[in-house]
Amino acid sequence: MGIVASKFTGGAAGVAGADTQVQFNDGGAFAGDSGLVWDKTNNVLGISPGALYLQMGTSGAYATGSGIIAADAEIFDSFTPGSGNWYYGTLVYHRAQNGTGHRAAQEIVLEVTGHGATDMLVGIAPVGHIVSGGGYAFGSNPYAWVSAGADVGCQGVGEEVNTDIRRNIAVKIGIQIVDVSTSTGQGLTYDAALRIDKQGGARGYDQGILFVSSPNLNLISAPNFGLSASGVMTINNETGVNFKNSAGTAKQMLRFTSADALIIGQELGTGCLYMNINGSVKRLTVDGNNFVKIVP
C-alpha cells in the first residue's frame, strides 16, 4: 500500500480569474469575475454597477438593473466615540479634486407611476429616535462647510429645498412643518415650529428671513391674519389684534368694525391710553363733551 503526501504551497494553481478578483463556486470549480474584486490595501470590496443584488428583508424580491439596489440593512453598535465625537452608521465620503461640473455625494430618487391619491411618496425619510436616556434627536442635520481658503464668491447654504411642479396641482409648498398626531409633549424651554439661532463665537445672520424675487409674496397667510412682502398687513375684522398685558392676559387693542371704522383700545383699562406727542408721552382722555384731550 503506498501513501502519497503533498502540500498546497499557496501558489496560483487552481485560482481562477485575474489578480484581485474574488473567488466563488461556479458549478463546483473556482471562478472569478471583473465585477467582484478585493482591494487588500484599503480593505475595499468592489462591485461593478449593475452587478449588485441585495435581498429586501428575508422574503423580498431581488432588484435588478443598472445601478439599482434594493436592500434592507440594519446596523447595530455599542461603541463609545467619546464626548464631541461622532460614530457614523453609514459614511459616504466623496472627494472631488479639480475638474468641472456639478457633484452629488449621494442621490436618492423615488419614481412612481399610477399610485393612489392619498399615497405618501417620500424620496428620503430621515428619523432620529430616542428610545430612552438623554440626547438630541434630529430627523436631519445637514451641514454646509466653506473653509477659509475658499473663494470669496462661494455660497454656503445649509439646506436648499427645490420644487419642480410642471402643472397646476392642489398643494405646492416649499417647506412644510407638521406636529404629528402622536406628538403630545411640549417643549419646556423652546416650543416653536421654526427657530433661528447661532452658536457661541458665530457671527450670526444679518436677516432672519430674506425674500428676494417675490415682492408681492404673502409672508404670512392665516385664517385671521396676513402679511405680504409689500408691507400690507391684513387682520380679520372680527378677531382684531390682541396684546398680552403683564399678567399674560390677551387684550384686544385694534379692531375694524363692519363699517370699516377702526377701534383702538377696545379692552384698555380706564384712562390707560397714551400717545407720544412731540417726543413726550401724554395720556389721552375724553371730556364731558366727548372730545379727546391731553392730560397734562
Task: Indicate whether 142 belongs to any domain.
Answer: no
DSSP 21: B
With 0-12 / 13-18 / 19 or more C-beta atoms within 10 angstroms meaning exposed / middle / buried, residue 173 is exposed
Task: Indicate whether 57 belongs to any domain.
Answer: yes
* Closest by Cα among 256, 285, 148, 178 to 295: 285
DSSP 189: S
How many beta carbons lie within 10 A of that of residue 242, not counting itself? Answer: 14
Looking at residue 228, its pLDDT comes to: 72
Looking at residue 252, its pLDDT comes to: 82
- Return d(Cα 159, Cα 138) in angstroms, integer: 14
- Return d(Cα 54, Cα 262) in angstroms, integer: 69
Task: Indicate whether 288 belongs to any domain.
Answer: no
With a cut of 70, list the residues of the chain below it in pLDDT: 1-13, 44, 48-76, 213-216, 219, 223-225, 229-231, 233, 235-238, 271
Number of domains in the chain: 1
The pLDDT tens digits for 60-76 are 344 444 444 445 556 66
Task: Indicate whether 20 belongs to any domain.
Answer: yes
Q: Domain range holding 69?
A: 1-74
Which residue in the block uniquely carries the three cell numbers 430627523? Answer: 139
Task: Indicate whether 135 belongs to any domain.
Answer: no
The pLDDT tens digits for 135-174 are 999 999 999 999 999 999 999 999 999 999 999 999 999 9
Looking at residue 89, its pLDDT comes to: 79
Which residue in the block uniquely carries the three cell numbers 384712562? Answer: 271
Does the global pTM surpass 0.75? no
Phi, psi values for residue 89, rounded to 5°: -65, -40
* Closest by Cα among 256, 265, 260 to 286: 265
